[in-house]
Amino acid sequence: MTTREGRFPEAARFLLRREVLMTIVMLGFLTYLMLSRGVSLLLTIFIDFAIFAIVTLSLNLEVGFSGVSQFGRVIAVIGGGFAVGAIPGRLLALSMGLPAGASYGADAVNYKVVPQLNELLAGSVPLSIAFFIFSLLLAAVAGAAVGWLTSRPAIRLREAYLGISLLAFGDFFMWVGHNWQPLVGGTTAVYVPDPFRVVYAYRFQAVVVTVLIIALLLYYLVERVTRSPFGRTLKMLRDSDVAAGVCGKNIVRVRTQALMLGSALAAVAGGLYVIYTGTCTAIGFSRLTWTFWPWAYMMLGGIGSSAGVMLGVMLLTIMRSMITLYRFQWFGFLLAYGIDPIWLEYTLMGLVIVVAILFMPHGLVPAKVEPILPANRMKRVLSGS
């Protein structure tokens, strides 16, 4: 009897933990949305969550663990999106004897070529899988290259100067793609060959499941990296680069590796995004969507906490969906005062973020200081055994 009674307070403490309570609340919202709006809305939330979870995990790796003022997250996302939008389709078109040069980006040519590529992919499962894997690997390589490029100013600049430089980098790449048509169509979007055309009847479901699995695998990868000796080096560099240098760490190399790894992850998200939407357009990669929103997700979840990032992304994704769905129902009365509720999305989301930060300044799941060695091993070391 005593044992059972002793378990109840422990169970109560577990259920009262902030992350557990928020998970229960989010499951309630998801259940309500599924019952009221159908499974398709739930799948849309999941695909948005998965893509932005990858981007925010990569941002947290650079900001929360490495201490880099990364205000140019959109750069790596653009790198991955442009790589997948520009290269794999051209290679496939070249193998079929179709236009694959500069004219591939012209809408009059692209809109005729890509449907033929989709027919080829629809007829071969192995080719579709190989095309998908190659696209993601290409995106990761492009992201790592962008990470190396952005690490050059990161080596020399600090804080605000670095943040402003990375912001400028992001806009530069976006406008290059927007004005140079041969890359990804310029002002008009290019179609992206669809490796999921082979399961056309269930394409949306297949994309959601695939991207969600990739997001969970990358979460596991980030957790392993941050708990490794390399991850501890990143935290040392974040806390004091002087101490890291005194300990013999190559600060330039470690910061470059962190930026390359984070950018590779973000570029994979960019590649997944253009495959999911089926198009790639430069103007779609805005700093609001691909830099500021990931920052909001990370701050809400907890800077330096991978689990917090996942919860923060899911919570804000649900809130954005509910605001979009119900803003006219909740705030339709404002039309009488000349205020259109359609413009309230960003205002209400900003209010949600401000309130959350006021009551939870360290995020949903604050980063915890973890010992280098497990507790039982620490006891053995201290006892001299």
φ, ψ of residue 191 in degrees (nearest 5): -75, 145
The residue type at 133: I
Q: Give CA–CA dist 173/80, Å, rounded.
A: 12
Whole-number CA gyration radius for the chain: 23
Whole-model pTM: value is 0.89
Would 139 be classed as within a structural domain? yes
DSSP conformation class of 290: I
Q: Which of 228, 169, 224 is nearest to 372 (CA)?
A: 228
φ, ψ of residue 280 in degrees (nearest 5): -135, 120
Would 384 be classed as within a structural domain? no
Would 343 be classed as within a structural domain? no
Angle, nearest 10°, between helix axes 251-277 and 125-156?
140
Task: Report the pLDDT value the prediction gives residue 86, as an integer from 0 to 100.
Answer: 93
Half-sphere exposure of 264 (CA within 13 A, CB side): 16
Would 232 be classed as within a structural domain? yes
| Cβ–Cβ < 8 Å for 91, 66 | no
Would 329 be classed as within a structural domain? no
Would 48 be classed as within a structural domain? yes
Would 20 be classed as within a structural domain? no
Total tally of structural domains belonging to the chain: 1
DSSP conformation class of 16: T
Going residue by residue through the chain, which has 385 residues, state the pLDDT in tens, using 9 for 90 and above: 445 555 556 655 555 577 778 888 889 989 998 988 889 999 999 999 999 999 999 999 999 888 888 888 999 999 999 999 999 999 999 999 999 988 998 888 999 999 999 999 999 999 999 999 999 999 999 999 999 988 887 667 766 777 788 888 888 888 899 999 899 988 888 999 999 999 988 999 999 999 999 999 999 999 999 988 888 888 888 877 777 777 778 888 888 899 999 999 999 999 999 999 999 999 989 888 999 999 999 988 888 888 889 999 999 999 888 888 888 888 888 888 888 888 888 888 888 888 888 888 888 887 776 665 566 766 776 676 5
> What is the residue range of 174's domain?
40-310
| Cβ–Cβ < 8 Å for 327, 344 | yes
Give, for 153, the enclosing helix (H) or strand (E).
Answer: helix 125-156
Q: In the chain, what is the straight-line distance between the N-terminal and C-terminal CA atoms, in Å?
A: 38
- How is residue 292 written in tokens? 């500021």
Q: Give CA–CA dist 261/137, Å, rounded.
A: 13
Would 172 be classed as within a structural domain? yes
